[in-house]
DNA sequence: AAGTGGTCTAGACCACGTA
DNA sequence: ACGTGGTCTAGACCACTTC
């Protein structure tokens, strides 16, 4: 039996909405009609529609139907940082990554507390500056537990570390917590970034957990004030 | 027939996890066991567990079971601003709201663009300063479409506007988009807040939509740099 | 009354983890 | 082999909207 019918329906419709093929306001076929069209049950269709709903692609109104929302007003991505990854993905913005450091060293007291490990545990430390349109704007400081990530080369750091972790190491990332705050900039910030006159810097602390709830990565992403933007889309939960 | 069994299960377990009655790491009963215990079907139980999963209360591992996550490490709320509402809710932090202005006036060009309405349309404007531990730290500027919110008194503004909108006016809030950025502070900020030496201010723009996808409220929440913090919990979506 | 989405049922088969 | 969660089915009844 083919599986993940609901993901297939979700993907097809999210693509059509993304591409503009389905204009905002368009009414989707009813759940029963979709079930028939995909030769599946209504509950399976509902799973797909609920995904689209949760991510802001459509709105569902009882008694009326499901309607395409205006994603263009939402900018992108629906939730997350408008930062290096996204900026460099968008058309024609020249950007590059400067790997400043890739070392294996003992965690130390501060980091040991962040990662909930012993101070002596060796930890991979990767420091990268992100240059966008000729300006070094973001400083990424990544720390990985070395018992989980045995090797990290400069080459890997220059590319996508996440791809390496998921496809090569087979790690299953489950969830992450972000903490955003504004803090005075450090000497390191001033040395590695083009900070202009700004005395403060936006710090995004990221705690990444594996499926087995092990916290294996801690990241500090330090953004120049004027280039920082964060988007959050939230459905209101009724209880 | 009793309805919303899944919400009942969700509420019971989220409460137990919140209160610490269910310690982190605890294994929940299996889905079949829960279905039997609540005299319902497995799919209904799964609906409840998926809610708990999405909100970071539990982790689900195929073949093993569902496990309580450590919420205390997560601070609170799971996603959102650590700001006035939350701060004032926590024990013993003295705080109050100063209503600076409650007027009905034409939208004007800037606001007309934000709310997607005509410039002449009257709009309720509510300006409130939030004082925490004797310092005015947050400036909330709320704008409501007057065709949807007919009346807004100073008394309502001093309390919870959302409660008024939902219970008294029966408005159904569906979703909201937040945009966070850092900007130079204005004269108004300096006049109404205790800004200290800070030249910049964290601006949280909030766009609130009703169930029928009408954008009816635009809010600017302006936070003093050093008192701003935002938390985001995100499950990694696998596609 | 007809059509829509919201909830629920009582099964089924599969993939994964543990023993 | 067994228990676990992940997906799916083919129905059912309900609440809401529209006609």
Q: Where are the domains of chain B?
A: 5-73, 80-231
* Residue A173 CB neighbours (<10 A): 17
A26 CB-near residues (< 8 Å, 6+ apart): A67, A68
Q: How far apart are the first and last CA of chain B?
A: 37
- Phi-psi region at A170: left, alpha or beta (left = phi > 0; alpha = psi -120 to 50): left
Flag the least confident range among A110-124, A211-225, B29-43, B87-101: B87-101
Q: Which nucleotide is nearest to B41 (CA to C1')?
A: C9
Both tokens of A210, joined, read 């594996």
| C-alpha span between A99 and A96 (Å, rounded) | 10
Asked whether the CA dihedral A60, A65, A70, A76 is positive or negative, the reply is positive
Q: What per-residue confidence (pLDDT) applies to A51?
A: 93
**Which of A8, A180, A217 is most worth mutating to test chain B (most B CB atoms within 10 A of its CB)?**
A180
What's B5-73's CATH class? mainly alpha
Residue A188's nearest CA partner among A106, A114, A132, A128 is: A128
Tell me what the pLDDT averaged over chain A comes to: 84
Q: How many CB pairs under 8 A join A and B?
A: 116
- Strand pairing partners for B184? B200
Residue B28's nearest CA partner among B66, B75, B84 is: B66
* Residue B80 CB neighbours (<10 A): 16
Q: Is the pLDDT of residue B83 over 90?
A: no
CATH number of A5-72: 1.10.10.10
Contacts of B173 in chain A (CB under 8 A): 236
**Alpha-carbon distances of B66 from A202, B50, B79, rounded to whole Å:** 36, 10, 22
Asked whether the CA dihedral A181, A188, A79, B52 is positive or negative, the reply is negative
Separation in Å, CA of B59 to nearest CA in chain A: 8
Superfamily (CATH H level) for B80-231? Chorismate lyase-like (3.40.1410.10)
| C-alpha span between A55 and A170 (Å, rounded) | 26
In whole angstroms, D12 C1' to A143 CA is: 53
- Torsion of Cα atoms, A85 then A89 then A92 then A96, to 10°: 40
Residue B54 belongs to what H/E stretch?
helix B42-54
- Strand pairing partners for A129? A98, A139
Q: Is the pLDDT of residue B239 over 90?
A: no
Both tokens of A198, joined, read 């700004």
| C-alpha span between B10 and B13 (Å, rounded) | 5
Higher pLDDT, B178 or B166: B178
Q: What per-residue confidence (pLDDT) applies to B236?
A: 60
Both tokens of B209, joined, read 């939509």
- Does A211 contact B175 at a Cβ distance shorter than 8 Å? no
Q: Work out if A5's Cβ lies within 7 angstroms of strand D.
A: yes
Separation in Å, CA of B18 to nearest CA in chain A: 16
pLDDT tens digits, A138-185: 999 999 888 888 788 888 877 777 777 777 777 777 788 888 999 999
- Does B226 contact A182 at a Cβ distance shorter than 8 Å? yes
What is the largest distance, in Å, between two alpha-carbon atoms of chain A? 63
Q: Work out if B4's Cβ lies within 7 angstroms of strand C.
A: yes
The mean pLDDT value for B4-8 works out to 93
Asked whether the CA dihedral B6, B12, B18, B23 is positive or negative, the reply is negative
The mean pLDDT value for A32-60 works out to 94
- Strand pairing partners for A103? A125
Flag the least confident range among A2-6, A29-33, B15-19: A2-6
| C-alpha span between A66 and B54 (Å, rounded) | 22
The proportion of chain A whose per-residue pLDDT surpasses 90, expressed as a percent, equals 45
- Does A175 contact B213 at a Cβ distance shorter than 8 Å? no
């Amino acid at each position: 039996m083919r599986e993940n019918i609901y993901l297939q329906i979700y993907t097809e419709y999210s693509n059509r909405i993304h591409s503009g093929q389905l204009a905002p306001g368009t009414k989707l076929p009813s759940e029963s009609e979709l079930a028939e069209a995909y030769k599946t049950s209504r509950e399976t269709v509902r799973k797909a529609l609920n995904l689209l709903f949760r991510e802001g692609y459509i709105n569902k109104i009882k008694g009326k139907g499901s309607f395409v929302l205006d994603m263009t007003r939402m900018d992108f991505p629906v939730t997350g940082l408008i930062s290096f990854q996204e900026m460099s993905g968008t058309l024609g913005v020249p950007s590059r990554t400067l790997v400043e450091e890739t070392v294996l060293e003992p965690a130390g007291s501060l980091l040991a507390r962040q990662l909930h490990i012993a101070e002596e545990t060796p930890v991979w430390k990767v420091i990268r500056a992100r240059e966008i349109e000729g300006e070094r704007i973001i400083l990424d400081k990544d720390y990985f537990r070395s018992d989980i990530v045995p090797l990290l080369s400069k080459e890997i750091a220059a590319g996508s570390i996440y791809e390496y972790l998921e496809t090569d190491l087979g790690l299953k990332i489950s969830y992450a917590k972000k903490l955003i705050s504004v803090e005075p900039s450090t000497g390191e910030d001033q040395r590695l970034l083009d900070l202009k006159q700004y005395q403060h810097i936006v710090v995004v602390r990221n705690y990444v957990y594996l499926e087995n709830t092990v916290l294996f990565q801690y990241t500090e992403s330090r953004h120049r004030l004027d280039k920082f933007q964060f988007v959050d889309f939230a459905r209101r939960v009724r209880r």
